[in-house]
Chains A and B, each alone.
Chain A
C-alpha cells in the first residue's frame, strides 16, 4: 500500500522566515496531494492541495510543489507569522478516481517565534 514519509517532524522558525516541509510517497499511481493544518485542540483543515497533472500551486503565502518523477511534494510557507504555528500533515490519495484511501504523513510541528 501507499506509504508517506514527512520531514522534518519539528520545525522552528523566526517570524518572517520561510518554512518548507517535504513529503515522499511510494505509490506512483497516487494523484492527489492535500495539506492539512491542525491547530492545537482543533480539527485538521485543508489549506492547499495539488493534483498530479500540476507541478506547482500557490495561494497567497503558501505554495505546494510536486515532483512526480521523484515522488515527492513540498509545502512552502513564506513570511511566516505566529498564527502559522500548528501541526501540518501531508497526504497522498491512492486509488485514482475510484475507491481508494488517503494516507497521511506523520505530521510536522511548526513553531513560529515572534
Chain B
C-alpha cells in the first residue's frame, strides 16, 4: 500500500508570494491533518480535514488555509508569505482523526521563504 505522498518536496518562495502544498493520503484514509515543523517549535498542528470538512484548526493566522477533495487528497495554501513561514510542512493521514487512529506522515514539503 502506498504511503502518504506530499508534493513538492522543496519550495523556495519570496516574501509576499503564496504557495500551495499537496498531500495524497494512504488509500482508504479519510482524515488528513497538517503540521508545521520548525527547530524551535517542534510539530505545530495546523488543521484537520475529514470528508472535505475542516473539523479542527490550530492557532495559525488566516493566511494558512486548506481544503480536501472528494478523493481525500488535501491541499494547504499559505498566502502573503513571511520569512517565519519557512519550515517543514508535514501532512498525516489516518482512518479517522480520533484518539485511537495512528497518524501516518508524509515526507513533508520543505518551504523556504526569502
| Contact status A97-B98, CB under 8 Å | yes
Instruction: Using CB atoms and an 8 Å cutoff, list the residues of chain A in contact with chain B.
Output: 31-32, 34, 36, 42-46, 49, 51, 89, 91, 93, 95-107
A46 to B35, CA, bound (A): 15
Total residue contacts A-B, CB cutoff 8 A: 64
Report 26 cross-chain contacts, Cβ distance below 8 Å, ordered by A residue. A43-B90, A43-B105, A43-B107, A44-B43, A45-B105, A51-B99, A51-B100, A89-B42, A89-B43, A91-B43, A93-B98, A93-B99, A96-B99, A97-B98, A97-B99, A99-B55, A99-B97, A100-B97, A100-B99, A101-B48, A101-B56, A102-B103, A103-B45, A104-B44, A105-B42, A107-B43
Expressed in whole angstroms, the Cα–Cα distance for A43 and B99 within the complex equals 21
Indicate if the CB atoms of B107 and A46 lie closer than 8 Å: no
CB neighbours (8 Å) of A91 from chain B are 43
A44/B100 contact (C-beta < 8 A), A89-B42, A103-B45 known: no
Docked complex: B11-43 residues within 8 A CB-CB of A: 33, 35, 41-43
Contacts of A93 in B (CB 8 A): 98-99
Chain B interface extent, by class: 20 to 34
Tell whether, in the assembled complex, residue A102 and residue B90 are in contact, meaning their CB atoms are under 8 Å apart: no
Contact assessment for B102 and A34 in the assembled complex, using a CB-CB cutoff below 8 Å? yes
Q: Which of A32, A44, A49, A107 has the most CB of B within 10 A?
A: A44
Q: Which residues of A contact B104 (CB under 8 A)?
A: 46
On chain B, the residues within 8 Å of A98 by CB distance are: 98
B66 at the interface (CB under 8 A from A): no
Residues on B with beta carbons closer than 8 Å to the beta carbon of A106: 41-42
Q: Please name the residue on chain A nearest to B3 by beta carbon.
A: A43
Nearest CB on B from A106, distance (A)? 4
| Extra inter-chain contacts (19) besides given A31-B99, A32-B100, A43-B90, CB under 8 Å | A34-B103, A43-B4, A43-B105, A44-B43, A44-B105, A49-B102, A89-B43, A95-B56, A95-B98, A99-B55, A99-B97, A101-B48, A102-B33, A102-B103, A103-B45, A104-B35, A104-B44, A104-B45, A107-B42
